Chains A and B, each alone.
Chain A
Amino acid sequence: DGGITQSPKYLFRKEGQNVTLSCEQNLNHDAMYWYRQDPGQGLRLIYYSQIVNDFQKGDIAEGYSVSREKKESFPLTVTSAQKNPTAFYLCASSILSALNTEAFFGQGTRLTVV
């Protein structure tokens, strides 16, 4: 099946710890994105990548880091510098063509600080 796979579904982080969220897609999409969702708020863009080995900061990049070594993979690391990391994290991908920028999402990772 084609799609976007996020893992794990639930993740618990201790204070001062770095954790990495996985996102893999087999849709052959050029662009990949990480969003954060908090209750009652819209999705906010953390990082995005339009090509391998290149990525840009979104609106709330502080305390996060990413890599894009392969077209299929775009892992997100939540570092200890992120002071309020408890949230629902969503990964997305899209084709970047002149006519179609339709986005497809994974099932999300819920991160909780313990």
Chain B
Amino acid sequence: KQEVTQIPAALSVPEGENLVLNCSFTDSAIYNLQWFRQDPGKGLTSLLLIQSSQREQTSGRLNASLDKSSGRSTLYIAASQPGDSATYLCAVTTTDSWGKFQFGAGTQVVVTP
């Protein structure tokens, strides 16, 4: 069964620093990997989707990389701002469970002014 792990569970950085968030998965036969943001008491907001054939995806200050062979994805957030404070989750779908998402527990980020 696919296991998704996000380390660290929590992270605090001063404003302006770059954020590096990690996601690892045990089954490299993934179909897609998706990064989400969740604010307290809210639903999930999709940030980036990386298809299995892609190595990275970019949107504004966000960049996500994917290395299937090592079972890792990294989300980079450049020049962090207090508004980036949230929990970030990654989720994968695998080729034998197409359309079903397996989630990590998330990394809670605090950006201090």
Which residues of A are interface residues toward B (Cβ below 8 A)?
4, 6, 31, 33, 35, 40-45, 48, 50, 58, 88, 90, 92, 94, 96, 99-108, 110
Contact = CB atoms under 8 A, between A and B. Distances in A.
Interface residues of B, number: 25
B60 interface: no
A50 B99 contact: yes
Contacts, number: 65
B49 A100 contact: yes
Given A4-B43, A101-B99, 5 more contacts: A41-B105, A42-B104, A96-B98, A96-B99, A102-B32
26 contacts: A6-B43, A33-B101, A40-B9, A42-B105, A42-B106, A43-B91, A43-B101, A43-B103, A45-B101, A88-B41, A90-B43, A92-B44, A92-B101, A96-B98, A96-B99, A99-B51, A100-B32, A100-B49, A100-B51, A103-B44, A103-B101, A105-B45, A106-B43, A108-B41, A108-B43, A110-B41
A102 B46 contact: yes
B19 interface: no
B76 interface: no
Interface in B31-48: 31-32, 34, 36, 41-46
Interface of B: 4, 9, 31-32, 34, 36, 41-46, 49, 51, 89, 91, 93, 98-101, 103-106
Contacts of B36: 105
| A-B pairs with lowest CB-CB distance, top 10 | A42-B103, A105-B44, A105-B43, A107-B43, A43-B103, A42-B105, A102-B49, A108-B43, A101-B32, A106-B43
**Mostly helix, strand, loop or mixed at chain A's interface?**
strand
A107 to B, nearest CB: 4
A103 B35 CA distance: 10
| Residue of B41, B98, B101 contacting most chain A CB atoms (<10 Å) | B101
A94 B32 CA distance: 12
Contacts of A104: 46
Contact of A58 (B34, B44, B100): B100
